[in-house]
Amino acid sequence: MTKITGPFVAIVTPFDTDERVDVAALRRQVNRQASAGNGVFCAGTNGEFYALSSEEKIRVAEICVEAAQDRVPVLAHIGEIATSQTIALGKVVQRLGVNAVSVITPSFIPCSQAELIDHYRRVADALTIPIYIYNIPARTGNTVTPDTARALADHPNIVGVKDSAGSPESLDGFLAIARERPDFDVLVGPDSLVLQGLKDGAAGCISGLANVCPVTANGIHAAFLKANLELAESHQAHFSALRKELYALGFPPAMVKRALYHAMPEVGRSRAPVLIPEDVDIKIKEISRKYAEAVS
């Protein structure tokens, strides 16, 4: 496959007032991100995959591919709790024209490393599209260790990891594998670690905050490629400050979507049971005004 690099947005899934996927609004969000130069990662955590049906996940991926029009790559998340469900969803999604898929660790079931290896190998055996491991233990309760990732990297269909564990130590463990072998890449999940990851060899990032600040997200990567570290550090500082203020208020994906909502109401609210108290919403609106970039 063509190597996947650069900044990606973990794009929100817009909903109308009846909590149906708003196709037109999603197309506009894809266009907005593509115009900034960012790839699209759909139906992930910030896309509320946990609240989408299989049919909706397929439709979201289809819309994103159509709207991107080959201007930027599209990655789709397909992870489910059961291996069989993940494979079934992946077999449909891989036919839609996405560039690769990501597979989150199973949730609810406490998995051993042997079970995680078996899960990912079964999925990789069943699909023909490149696969990224998606490590986010705070949400799933299961952690992919560097040793497990190293074993999975031997599978020709497993091309890297999206690490959202949130710590430099976790990221360093995966980056060590990437330095050992050119066929395994790391995509940085935490917005606070984007530049550090790039300095240490990450291929790119998948950013939730890029929904609010697409130009800033792209700017970190673009400045880094031009060896303009002063500008890259400035963009990263802006990003990190936004992250600190916004994520202190509650569940990060809900905070991101609500901040974007205040700039672009058409994205709608997060699906129930998410509720944002009025006093928190006032603070989110202030943060949105402070950090949001010009929208079109």
C-alpha count within 13 angstroms, C-beta hemisphere, residue 2? 9
151-203 tens-digit pLDDT:
999 999 999 999 999 999 999 999 999 999 999 999 999 999 999 999 999 99
**CB-based contact 209:217 (threshold 8 Å):** yes
70-125 tens-digit pLDDT:
999 999 999 999 999 999 999 999 999 999 999 999 999 999 999 999 999 999 99
What six digits make up the tokens of 190?
A: 């935490």
What six digits make up the tokens of 161?
A: 């990891």
The H-or-E segment that residue 135 falls in is: strand 131-135
Q: What is the identity of the amino acid at 154?
A: D
149/153 Cα distance (integer angstroms)? 6
Using alpha carbons only, give the angle 287, 290, 292 rounded to the nearest 5 degrees: 90
**Average pLDDT of the segment spanning 235-245:** 97
Predicted model pTM: 0.96
pLDDT at 240: 97
**CATH of region 6-291:** 3.20.20.70
Which residues are within 8 A (CB) of 37 and not within 5 positions of it... i.e. 6 or more apart? Answer: 6, 7, 72, 218, 222
Cβ of 262: how many Cβ atoms within 10 Å? 17
Which residues are catalytic, by number? 134, 162
Q: Which of 269, 14, 46 is nearest to 139 (CA)?
A: 46
22/37 Cα distance (integer angstroms)? 23
**CB-based contact 175:196 (threshold 8 Å):** no
Domain extents in the chain: 6-291
Position 295 pLDDT exceeds 80: no
